[in-house]
Amino acid sequence: MKITAILVALSVTASAAKVYHLSAARDATVSYSGLKNPDGSFESLTPKGGQSTLTTFKGSNDYSRILLGFHVPAKVKDPSLITKCVLNVPVPKDAPKQDYSLTAYTASSNWDEETVNGATKITSTKELGTVSVPKNKNPGPIDVTGACQAAAEGNFSLFVDTNQPMVTFYSRSSGKQSFTLEMTY
């Protein structure tokens, strides 16, 4: 009886899930706009990786998206076995004074933080999840399990969009709280 209980306890311990807490490895705001900078160049062609903030906005013709890139820990040998993956949305630096929503989408990972811009061909194929944010409240997490499970070569990326109003967050290079991920494997 005691041996069976010990074996069951060891089996449960050995198969216990591991939770990884990950910060974005890279992030950027990607602008899609016809607006021009003071120097005459198009805003959408200006790389915004490495800046201290990330912005998402959806206007009638102009919009910006937040692009996040993550590395899967080396101990995760088969990403398809990830059981849960949650994007923790930080408290915004600047948020609208109205209800809004944030939606995460899969994104291709072939981008560089220092050069990514609106002309970079980053595909976005699948909506992963949405969080509704009531006026004067902080966002909650977004389930992005599908993106984590589909990670290729240890990397995956996400776009974060708003339903319309501008929402600004701190980026990873700001040194302040930014987007993180909880991955259960």
The pairing of strands 100-107 and 155-162 is: antiparallel
Q: How far is it, in rounded angstroms, from Cα 172 to Cα 50?
A: 8
- Please tell me what DSSP assigns to residue 94: B
* Residue listed under structure tokens 């290729």: 152
Q: How far is it, in rounded angstroms, from Cα 98 to Cα 37?
A: 29
The residue count of the chain comes to 185
Mean pLDDT of the chain: 91
- pTM for the model stands at 0.89
- Half-sphere exposure (CA, 13 Å, Cβ side) for 107? 25
Query: pLDDT at position 125, please?
Result: 77
Q: Is the pLDDT of residue 144 over 90?
A: yes
State mean pLDDT over 23-48: 93
Q: Find all residues with CB under 8 Å of 77, minimum gap 6, and list them.
A: none
Query: pLDDT at position 160, please?
Result: 98
* pLDDT bracket for residue 4 (50, 70, 90): very low
